[in-house]
A and B are shown apart, each in its own frame.
Chain A
Amino acid sequence: MDVKVAIRQLRVRFSKKEVLKGIDLDIFRHRISGLMGPAASGKSTLISVINKMVSFEDGVTMSGSVLLDGEDIINGDIDEVGLRKRIGTVFATPIPLPRSIFENVAYGPRLNKNYSRPDLYALVEESLRKAFLWDEVKDRLQESAMKLSGGQQQRLCLARTLALKPEIILLDEPCSGLDPISTAKIEEALSELKDQHTIILVSNNTKQIARATDFVAFFYMGELIEFGHTDKVFTTPAARMTEDYIQGKFG
């Protein structure tokens, strides 16, 4: 198994507060890696370092390195806009653009190059299929994305990300506001997507982490407490704190 993202001694500060305190973590190619931990443990910050959305925050200082295929994306002179086309993100709340379903999915591809109409249509269909949404929306692609239900909107956001054919997909608590059926559909989609994408799933829901991921990292207060195969971490956790968290003693 080769490493897609290698995080080395990563420290992140927001003004005075240190939110990641020297993280070392490997994210493996074409696997689903889960990040779990209570609120303010630094999971979402780690996501925003990888997709460089952290640049939009004020007063951030970082040290250490994050190597994407060996290339340092936090110290090097990296093209952030280009990077975000390689790394797709799905946020906690579904945020459709105020456009049609079709236009939402086509938004990213259109920024990259001029697709012919049939090519673009094929790409939109393919992306919606991969996100398990196609059958529900194929007859109303020109309708407003705002008319979809929350679960459909979140799958639309996944499809929108997939349309960019990203190497990595980051999902930041994507199911936090969804019902169990929508959640199941997203998890089903993810398990098929890992053949072509490296996936990082942040979740507060330990059951979801156990179901959906191959590897898991447990964060607490900005530190990486434990990392390993999901089966192993959930059956024989090395750290006492991980065990308590999994059993729901805190969180």
Chain B
Amino acid sequence: MRLNPRFTDKFIRGALLFQALFTVSILVFIVFIVFIKGAANITPQFIFSYPEDMGRHGGIFPAILGTVFLAVLSIALATPLGVGTAIYLTEYTKESTLTRIIRFGVESLAGIPSIIYGLFGFIFFVIKLKLGWSLLSGTLTIMIMVLPTIIRTAEEAIKAVPRNLRIVSFSLGATKWETVTKVVLPSAAPGILTGIMLSVGRAVSETAAVIFTMGSSLRLPTSLLDSGRTMAVHFYILAREGISLEKAYATALVLVVSILLINIAAYYTMNKMIGRYS
């Protein structure tokens, strides 16, 4: 029996809409729970003061700054390295055994669970290079962890820039580097930014790799060799060790809201960039 096509269409549309709504509602539900449980404890004092008694009382100021330091430093290192790799792979070399090995390596790196990065960082940076549990060890570990994401997204974004634009730039007497910096990268910027935002999200929310390399000191890190903790680690320890669920949810709320704000800011910049000349 053949179903009425108009009915089938309506049914499919309804089913897809349901799926989309279901997905969004899970997200909304999570944010809602975090909000309900955390909002009561959010005060200026919670954000701007130091924790007391393992975090049972007081605020999360060092954890907020620890998160910012770790994310900013690791992304600041990973972005030039990752984008540079992507530029090399797409613009400066032809497909060869070497590029295939690099790509294979990048893809393998992407599939490794973060705890392995944590163990590597612990053995190599913390022990071998004697950096100790420190902001520096954490930064380097997270940098390695997010590199594959940045490389892959940047590579795709650069490949998507039409070949014609490069030809035009060369025909106007531009060198390869001028063409890359003045034509290719500006056109690829929105895609590259997406990869960077994903990486910021991973750096901010990572726990396992951070505990192993940056430690979990409650003090504010004032040098690269100080230990510290991020909001995600703070949340994990508060909840895992039953110190204070209220403070844990409040920390989670600050974390969720900051990720949201970062994303909104990134999309705003991106749309501005795209909208400018198209």
The residues of A with any CB-CB pair to B shorter than 8 Å are: 51, 53, 56, 81-82, 84-85, 88-89, 91, 93, 95, 97-100, 107-108, 111-112, 144-146, 157, 160-161, 164
Contact A108 B173 (CB under 8 A): yes
Q: Which residues of the other chain, B, contact A160 by a CB distance below 8 angstroms?
A: 172
Min CB–CB distance A11 → chain B (angstroms): 24
Q: Is the CB of B170 within 8 A of A88?
A: no
Residues B168 and A97 in contact, CB atoms below 8 Å apart: yes
B128 within 8 A of A: no
Known A98-B187, A99-B277; judge A91-B172 contact (CB<8 A): no
Is B198 interfacial (CB-CB < 8 Å)? Answer: no
Interface status of B174 (Cβ within 8 A of chain A)? yes
Q: A95-B164, A107-B182, A111-B178 are in contact. Are A84 and B277 (CB under 8 A)?
A: no
B162-181 to A contact mask, C-beta < 8 Å, 1/0: 00110111111111001000
Q: List 22 A-B contacts (CB under 8 A).
A: A53-B170, A53-B171, A56-B170, A88-B171, A89-B171, A91-B164, A91-B168, A95-B165, A95-B168, A97-B168, A100-B277, A107-B169, A107-B172, A107-B174, A107-B182, A111-B178, A112-B173, A144-B276, A144-B278, A145-B277, A146-B278, A157-B168
* B173→A84 contact, CB < 8 A: yes
How far does the alpha carbon of A146 sit from the alpha carbon of B183 in the complex, in Å? 15
Does the CB pair A85–B173 fall under 8 Å?
yes
Give the chain B neighbours of A157 by CB distance below 8 A: 168
Given A98-B187, A100-B277, A144-B276, CB of A53 within 8 Å of CB of B167: yes
For residues 138 through 167 of chain B, which have their beta carbon under 8 Å from a beta carbon of chain A? Answer: 164-165, 167
Flag if A98 contacts B165 (CB, 8 Å): yes
Q: What B residues does A111 contact at CB under 8 A? A: 172-174, 178
Give Cα A77 to B212, complex, Å: 57
Min CB gap B96→A, angstroms = 13
In the bound complex, how far is the Cα of B277 from the Cα of A89, in angstroms?
Answer: 23
B277 and A108 contacting across the interface, CB-CB below 8 Å: no
The list of the 4 closest CB pairs from A to B, nearest first, reads: A85-B173, A144-B277, A108-B172, A89-B171
CB distance from B88 to the nearest CB of A (A): 18
- Flag if B277 contacts A81 (CB, 8 Å): no
A138–chain B nearest beta-carbon distance, Å: 19
Total inter-chain residue pairs, C-beta < 8 Å? 63
Secondary structure call for the B interface: helix
Give chain B residues whose Cβ lies under 8 Å from the Cβ of A56: 167, 170
Task: For B171, give its contact among A84, A98, A100, A144 (CB under 8 Å).
Answer: A84
Q: Which residues of B contact A85 (CB under 8 A)?
A: 172-173
Query: Chain B's nearest CB lies how many Å from the CB of A99?
Result: 6
Q: Which residues of B contact A97 (CB under 8 A)?
A: 165, 168-169, 183
Contact partner of A81 among B168, B173, B183, CB < 8 A? Answer: B173
> Which B residues lie within 8 Å of A108 (CB)?
172-174
* Interface core residue of A107, A157, A161 (most chain B CB under 10 Å): A107
> Given A91-B167, A107-B182, does the pair A98, B172 have CB atoms closer than 8 Å?
no
Q: In the assembly, what is the distance between CA of A56 and CA of B167, in Å?
A: 9
By a CB distance below 8 angstroms, the chain A residues around B276 are 144
By beta carbon, the residue of chain A nearest B274 is A98
Give the complex CA separation of A34 and B183 in angstroms: 32
Report the separation of the CA atoms of residues A165 and B184 in the bound assembly, to the nearest whole angstrom: 25
**Chain A residues in 8 Å Cβ range of B168:** 91, 95, 97, 157
Contact A84 B172 (CB under 8 A): yes
How far, in whole Å, are A89 and B168 apart by their CA atoms in the complex?
8
Bound form: Cα–Cα A210–B278 in Å: 38
A146 and B175 form a contact (CB under 8 A) = no
Cβ of B171 to closest chain A Cβ, rounded Å: 4
Task: Report the separation of the CA atoms of residues A145 and B278 in the bound assembly, to the nearest whole angstrom.
Answer: 8
A97-B183, A98-B277, A144-B277 known; A164-B165 Cβ under 8 A = no
Give the residue name and chain of the B residue nearest to A110 (CB): B182
Q: Which residues of A contact B164 (CB under 8 A)?
A: 91, 93, 95
Chain B residues whose CB sits within 8 angstroms of the CB of A144 once the complex forms: 276-278
Q: What residue of chain A has the Cβ atom nearest to residue B161's Cβ?
A: A98
Q: Give every chain A residue within 8 A of B173 (Cβ-Cβ).
A: 81-82, 84-85, 108, 111-112, 164
Chain A contacts of B178 at CB under 8 A?
111
Bound complex: CA A93 to CA B170 (Å): 16
**Distance A145 CA – B168 CA, assembled complex (angstroms):** 14
Residues 68-115 of B at the A interface (beta carbon under 8 Å): none
A51-B278 contact, Cβ under 8 Å, with A97-B183, A107-B182: no
Report the minimum CB–CB distance from A59 to chain B (whole Å): 12
Count chain B CB atoms within 10 A of each CB in A81, A93, A97 and give the residue with the most. A97
Instruction: Give the docked Cα–Cα distance between A82 and B183 (Å).
Output: 19
The CA-CA distance from A146 to B182 in the complex, in Å, is 17
Bound complex: CA of A161 vs CA of B174, how far in Å?
12
